[in-house]
Structure 1
Amino acid sequence: MAPHDAVLGWDEDTTAEAYEAFTRAFPMYGTTSRDLGRRARLGDSRLVLDLCGGAGATAKAILELTPATARVISLDNAAAMQRVGRRTLDDPRLTWVTAAAEDLDRHAPTAEVDAVVCNSAIWKTDVPRVFTAVHTVLRPGGRFVFNIGGGFAGVEHDDEKSAHPGPSLNRLIHQVAARDYGYAPPPTRPPAPKLPLEAVTAHLSSAGMDLVDAEVVAQHGTVAEKMAWLSIPVFARPDGDFTHAQRMEMLAKAYAQTIPDAQTVTSWLVVVAERPKVRP
């Protein structure tokens, strides 16, 4: 079963406002967006597509990395996220398109996009359909750069392996939920990785693209940042029949057991692909 943030809840004003506030207060999305943008080699780009662009954190990074004459399309199917983005990111080079990732080829000129960048969202899409659509819009030699959370990719960076032991904030939330709210998580086996590199490579090949590079990277943060992230309605835990207010009560009780400045580490698989150049 997919987490409740996989599809539902993104097109809601409360989520959009909280998400955008998080991107302004904490560096996670800005840092990862700039990393993806650098790997996409945007220096000579004329047209870049920000896929599943949300409220514009990645579009902002792309605009900073591209020439002044470049155009950027930020595509997302959540109108609420884009309403917040339009209010906070006003740039004549940026076009907001409300559409599903699987339909991106209907909203960009065929074989003219220099790069497609997708931050923290590719696993929520119909991956084979999206990869095929990306191939359609990319110019020959154009890059497709995206990242996948370590749990979904089945990878773990050495920094995460050696991180200070102790219960995570997620674990503490579930303990509080069980102790104070009668929460009984359904018995499940650890899920198999949704998008391991082998599957990604196979999907890219089927779509006519080449894998250029894949790297496991570590994202460093703090427990305070994790707490703020879990305050966003679509990320709040645990799953189950709880109100958002109850989830925030659980989060507060769990957070009180932590050291806010303690360091956290998450792992990500970063993938760089390319539409092959036309050979003479």
Structure 2
Amino acid sequence: MAPHDAVLGWDENTTAEAYAAFTRDYPMYSATSRDLAHRAQITDSNLVVDLCGGAGATAEAILTLAPAQARVISLDNAAAMQRVGRRMLPDPRLTWVTAPAEDLTTHVPTGSVDAVVCNSAIWKTDVPTVFAAVHRVLRPGGRFVFNIGGGFAGIRHADENTIRTGLSLNHLIQQIAARDHGYTPPPATDAPPKLPLSTVAGELAAAGMTVLDTEITAQHSTVAEKKAWLSIPVFARPDGDFTHEQRMAILEKAYALTAPDAPTVTSWLVVVAQRPEEAQ
């Protein structure tokens, strides 16, 4: 099954509007979307799937690179996100399908897709089921390109270790929540990462796909961008019994202790897989 928080909170208008505003105002999703679309090699494609496509940031990058006759299907389980996406990206080449990633084969014909791209969201899904579904819809030789956040993959880019500007915004949030609300942060654990490369590679192989390339990349941003990201309701911190208003008040106090332009780094594991060509 997918993690319980895979859909929780995403199908709400406040989250959808805040998320879409973030994708317009800050470069993280547009930059990672362009990178994934480029790796998918879609310049000669006829049909591309934007899996867990949200409000369409990745679909927009795909449409920019794909040929004029190509069609894009953006599939996501959150209707609120897609309502915002339809308003922001009214492109006739783009079809919006409201459905979970696990139901991909219900909505896309077998063997019809040149590439499947998934930005920042594969962790939300039932990975073995989704990988099998992607294999079925891809044509032989079709690519599956996705990324996994460093925390989920258990990786860190070298830049994340060298760029340090004091306590992180997340750490400051926990400190202020503890001071003002008696918050007790969850204990640190040595639990293994949810989706390390070894697990991902094994699940891709089990689904009949081949890993072509992997890379640990770094997304450079600022504390101001991190604050905007943490203002989106589904990403707001700390966890626990807080209202959104309380979380935003804590965030503002934490942000006041930082330098807005201070650099931050987010690590990503990027995976390029392929449905093998059929033997002649």
TM-score by length of 1: 0.98
Q: Which amino acid aligns with 1:114?
A: D
Partner of 2:39: 39
Partner of 1:90: 90
Unaligned runs of 5+ in 2: none
2: CA distance between counterparts of 1:184 and 1:52? 33
Which structure 2 residues correspond to residues 1-280 of structure 1 after superposition, within 5 A? 6-280=6-280
1: CA distance between counterparts of 2:99 and 2:72? 15
SS at match of 2:271: strand
Check conservation: 1:76, 1:98, Cα contact below 8 A: yes
Q: Residue 186 of structure 1: CA displacement?
A: 3.2
Q: Which amino acid aligns with 2:266?
A: T
Q: Which amino acid aligns with 2:209?
A: M
SS at match of 2:21: helix
Aligned residues: 279
Spell out, residue by residue over 1:227-274, the C-alpha distance to the aligned partner (whole angstroms, 9 max, x if none).
000000000001000000000000000000000000000100000000
Q: Residue 188 of structure 1: CA displacement?
A: 4.4
Change (3 A) 1:149 1:128: same
Unaligned runs of 5+ in 1: none
Check conservation: 2:7, 2:77, Cα contact below 8 A: no
2: CA distance between counterparts of 1:54 and 1:194? 22
Check conservation: 2:5, 2:124, Cα contact below 8 A: no
SS at match of 1:41: coil
1: CA distance between counterparts of 2:164 and 2:208? 42
Between the aligned residues of both structures, percent identity stands at 73
1: CA distance between counterparts of 2:6 and 2:258? 27
Show structure 1 runs of 4+ deviating over 4 A.
2-5
1: CA distance between counterparts of 2:239 and 2:151? 17
Spell out, residue by residue over 1:182-221, the C-alpha distance to the aligned partner (whole angstroms, 9 max, x if none).
1112334143110000000000000000000000000000
Spell out, residue by residue over 1:11-55, the C-alpha distance to the aligned partner (whole angstroms, 9 max, x if none).
000000000000000010000000000000010000000000000
Check conservation: 1:16, 1:81, Cα contact below 8 A: yes
SS at match of 1:180: helix
RMSD: 1.2
Check conservation: 2:33, 2:57, Cα contact below 8 A: yes
SS at match of 2:43: coil
2: CA distance between counterparts of 1:4 and 1:136? 26
Spell out, residue by residue over 1:46-73, the C-alpha distance to the aligned partner (whole angstroms, 9 max, x if none).
0000000000000000000000000000
SS at match of 2:7: coil
Check conservation: 1:5, 1:235, Cα contact below 8 A: no
